[in-house]
Amino acid sequence: MSLAVTSTPLARRFEALPIAIFLVLALAPLAASFGAETYLLGLFTRVMIYGIAALALDFICGYGGLVSFGHAAFVGIGAYTAGIFGAHGITDMAITLPVALLVSALFAWLTGTVCLRTKSVYFIMITLAFGQMIYFVAGSLSPYGGDDGLTLKLRSTLFGFPILQYDRALYYAVLAFLLVSYLLLRGIVASRFGRVFRGARDNPTRMATIGYDVFRYQRIAYVIAGSLGGLSGFLLANATEFVSPSFMSWQRSGELIIMVLFGGIGTLHGAIVGAAAFLVLEDMLGGITENWKLIFGPMLVLIVLFARGGLLGLAQSVWERLRRG
């Protein structure tokens, strides 16, 4: 799909940008200590959590051409795993986190087996259908709050130690997970697997002709993305101490796609930039009016029309104009 044809030169020209992004995120709590620390820590924790989900979506969408409109389903699965285990008194993340990743991966494998046999808009629609299916399943779980959601009594512990109960500790734990997720996906993209995966996006027939099982590569990538989506949901449940079916709604999937487009599709770190821009603008505009999307919508349209490659593309254009004088 044309949506997946991305400006990979952005990734090459902004090699220092990922380092700068993670440095800013690492130093943000120090700056927050001079102001509204709780508010800023909460905001940037959410940015990083959604950054993980957007990274995973950018991996399959930007590098594989698999535009999923049900990616939030994995976020919800990870969140509900933490919530359901917590409701039964099991909070140790040495148990709950692997289960969240495993359940998300299993759901990705099962749905991917069906979804990946379709192409183009059919793939988009069937991922949306599976996402809505799991959304309604979550809403029907009356023992765990149903449509009203479920409140976590306690954040996840690690071998019995409540290290995530402190906002700053949770922040740096999320930062560590974001960094590992980024490095993992960057390594995969640069590997032989990543080259085959990108080749399947551009010309699946040619890749199949030379002997590669395109379906197998795409399903593995889909499972990886689903697992990372589950990770982000698990962390989101701990950050908000609440789980709701809204975590996996089609609107949330749409927001993740907007984050990827907003930052710069096919760059990985652009997904983090897009998540930050989306959530910060949402917070700022939401303080002005409840109808903040009426302002944000035209901004997104302008970015898509006049800044090819999202915010990273816009930054590249400005940089090149400054260099030319």
| Most confident of the ranges 16-20, 130-134, 204-208, 302-306 | 130-134
Q: Is 254 a domain residue?
A: yes
Q: Is 24 a domain residue?
A: no
Q: Is pLDDT above 80 for 262?
A: yes
| Most confident of the ranges 87-91, 172-176, 285-289 | 172-176
Q: Is 243 a domain residue?
A: yes
The span from the CA of 214 to the CA of 234, in Å, is 30
Residue 24 vs residue 16, higher pLDDT: 24
The span from the CA of 208 to the CA of 199, in Å, is 10
The span from the CA of 261 to the CA of 310, in Å, is 6
pLDDT in tens, 29-87: 887 777 777 888 989 999 999 999 999 999 999 999 999 999 999 999 999 999 999 99
Q: Is 4 a domain residue?
A: no
Q: Is 178 a domain residue?
A: yes
Tokens of 65: 């051409």
Quickly state the pLDDT bin for 14 (edges 50, 70, 90). Answer: low
Residue 291 vs residue 249, higher pLDDT: 249
Taking a C-beta distance cutoff of 8 angstroms, is the pair 293, 283 a contact? no
pLDDT in tens, 186-211: 999 999 999 999 999 988 889 988 88
Residue 195: φ, ψ to 5°: -65, -40
User: Which residues, in sequence order, are CB contacts of 2 under 8 Å at separation 6+?
Assistant: none
Q: Is 56 a domain residue?
A: yes
Taking a C-beta distance cutoff of 8 angstroms, is the pair 83, 237 a contact? yes
Domain that holds residue 48: 32-260
Domains identified in the chain, total number: 1
Q: Is 211 a domain residue?
A: yes
Q: Is 173 a domain residue?
A: yes
